[in-house]
Structure 1
Amino acid sequence: MSKPQWQPAQALAAQHHPRYPGETLAYREARNALLAEEIELRRQIERVAALRRTLPTSGDVPQHYRFDSADGPVTLQQMFGEHDTLVIYHWMFGPQRERPCPMCTCLLSALNGEMPDILQRVAFGVVARAPIERMQAFAKERGWHHLRLYSAGGSSFNQDYIGEDPNGDDTPGLNVFVRIGDSIKHFYGDEMGPDTADPGQDPRGAPDLMPLWNILDLTPGGRGTDWYPQLDYTADGGHCH
């Protein structure tokens, strides 16, 4: 099938005709130039997503990992449920932490609301090394009702799949697994981090999963450099360290 012939982004932007009260010609010219870049960005996002979907599966999962859940011990195989795809988010909440990472928590709070929709397509688990009782207690405090929590404290799962660094510190991350017959294979892992960041840029993934940052990126002030998500906004609200 031949590749569709797309119009130049500048042409698409030029034929777009919204107008806002009181806008100036200078604003419209600048906005149309930005719109052309946004169109190109959307095309790039779609291209990368298509490339991601064509990844071959990686290695077989090396062992029968076991986790603790609210309903007792489960295996990685059981975490798939009725689906053939399982997404795992590695929550920075290890046994050495009194409180979990606020940045992870910010993302998980957003995903909690989306989870009934996500679970229509794939299985999704949140894995941390803290005991399951502490994970459940925090979920209750935060008002999470839809996230499926699993403690990997008794296995090497986080270490094997880059949810823990060689020093034993938590590392945020996301991995995708696929079930093919009776075997489980690794498909995708988020590999963007400080070592892949351009100078002066936040080492975020692409696409950025954080709704918070995507909203702030639409504003004049952007993300800011003197502010960070907290677990709460009282005087003793916790930062991520």
Structure 2
Amino acid sequence: MAASTTHTPATELAAKNKSHFPNESPEYRKARNALLAEEIELRRHIERVAELRRALPPGGTLEQDYTLEGEKGTVHLSELFGDKQTLIIYSMMFGPERQRACPVCTSFLSAWDGTARNLRERVSLAVFARSPIQRLLEFSKERGWQNLQLYSDSKGDYTRAYVSADDADVPGLNVFTRRDGTIRHFWGGEISGEMADPGQDPRGAPEIDLLWTFLDLAPEGRGTDWYPKLEYTPAQLTNIK
């Protein structure tokens, strides 16, 4: 979207809305159309942010071709690009000191597993963690993941450079590019807990977990005291009787 693009005001577009639902009140329709205008503005803002991200100057070059442990043995970060020019790496919270992987990381990685086949048509995708590779593979099998490629950053060199200088058990999302044989860091999530707005859990942008996007559509919202779990009882799973 070019910076010089002139848009029709969102309120004007929303006024063209012909949607109506059974038994809705005039008050509902008025409020819904006002919300529709905000949704149009949100769509435009998302695109503006994406455009700014795409226009970033070249990032820093890779300090070293980091060594990882994969299912088939030792690999280097450069090999994870395959035939693509962009590599997305998510570092999940599953350090060797953890008994189990982070439930929140597990939640959206389960969703990513389904879309990974589509993503790989455009970019390469890898999941890193600090636990030994065999532990990661066993967890992947337990969760039924079929499309995620997991790697162990057993030495922690990548983690300390691009996720946490202190090697803390925290998540990280980074994007790398390869142009003319040179690998550079393109973008990384930098919204920290200190940047959280009042009354909200720390969260980044864009939202990478479809779970929260769906909950934002519900009247209950995300809530303040609920998080996904690794396991649910049969009663929790069965909510339709």
TM-score of the two chains, using structure 2 as the length reference: 0.93
Aligned residue type for 2:19: P
Structure 1 SS opposite 2:183: strand
Q: Which residue of 1 aligns with 2:208?
A: 209
Match of 1:198 in 2: 197
CA distance in 2, matches of 1:225, 1:232: 20
Aligned to 1:157: 158
Deviation of residue 205 (structure 1)? 1.2
Q: Is the 8 A contact 1:88 1:175 kept in 2?
A: yes
Query: Structure 1: any 5+ residue segments left out of the alignment?
Result: 236-241
1:79–1:123 contact (8 Å) kept in structure 2:
yes
- Tell me the residue number matched to 2:224: 225
CA distance in 2, matches of 1:160, 1:106: 26
On the 8 A contact 1:67/1:155 being kept in 2, the answer is no
Conservation of the 8 A alpha-carbon contact between 1:90 and 1:126 = yes
Partner of 1:72: 73
| Residue type of the alignment partner of 1:218 | L
Query: 1:110 is paired with a residue of what secondary structure?
Result: helix
With over 3 angstroms needed to count, the CA separation of the structure-2 counterparts of 1:103 and 1:19, relative to structure 1, is: same
* Paired residue secondary structure (1:207): coil
Cα RMSD after superposing both structures: 1.6
Q: AA paired with 1:188?
A: W
Quick one: distance in 1 between partners of 2:179 and 2:19?
Answer: 49
Q: 1:181-229: CA deviations, max 9, x gaps?
A: 2221101000012111122222211111110000000011001122111
Whole-angstrom distance in 2 between the partners of 1:165 and 1:157: 10
Measured after TM superposition, the shift of residue 233 of structure 1 is: 1.1
Alignment of 1:1-241 (within 5 A): 3-162=4-163, 164=164, 166=166, 168-234=167-233
Bigger mean CA offset, 55-64 vs 19-28? 55-64
Which ranges in structure 2 are unaligned for 5 or more consecutive residues? 235-241
Tell me how far 1:16 sits from its aligned partner. 0.6
Q: Which residue of 2 aligns with 1:238?
A: none
Match of 1:203, SS state, is coil
User: Matches of 1:62 and 1:165 in 2, distance apart?
Assistant: 14
Compared with structure 1, are the counterparts of its residues 134 and 147 closer, same or farther at alpha carbon in structure 2 (3 Å cutoff)?
same
- Cα distance between partner residues in 2 of 1:161 and 1:215: 30
Write out per-residue CA displacement over residues 128-155 of structure 1, whole angstroms, 9 at most, x where no aligned residue.
Answer: 0100100000000000000010100124
AA partner of residue 168 (structure 2):
D
Q: Please list the CA deviations of residues 98-139 of structure 1 after superposition, one character each: whole Å capped at 9, or x if unmatched.
A: 101000010100000000000000000000010010000000
Q: 1:155 to 1:202 in 2, by over 3 A?
A: closer
Range with bigger deviation, 41-50 or 189-198: 189-198
Provide the rounded CA distance (Å) in 2 between the counterparts of 1:2 and 1:218.
30
Q: Please tell me whether the aligned partners of residues 112 and 145 of structure 1 are also in contact (alpha carbons under 8 angstroms).
A: yes
Deviates more, 1:40-49 or 1:168-177: 168-177
Q: Deviations over 1:28-60 (max 9, x none)?
A: 000000000000011000000000000112111
Alpha-carbon distance in 1 for matches of 2:126, 2:3: 39
User: Structure 1 residues 34, 151: closer, same or farther in 2, change over 3 A?
Assistant: same
Alpha-carbon contact 1:130-1:153 (below 8 Å) kept: yes
Q: Identity across aligned pairs (percent)?
A: 51
- Work out the CA distance in 1 between the residues paired with 2:94 and 2:58: 29
1:239 maps to which residue?
none
Please state how far the C-alpha of 1:2 moved relative to its aligned partner.
7.6
Q: Which letter maps to 1:227?
A: W
Residue type of the partner of 1:3?
Answer: S
Q: Which runs of 4+ in 1 moved over 2 A?
A: 1-5
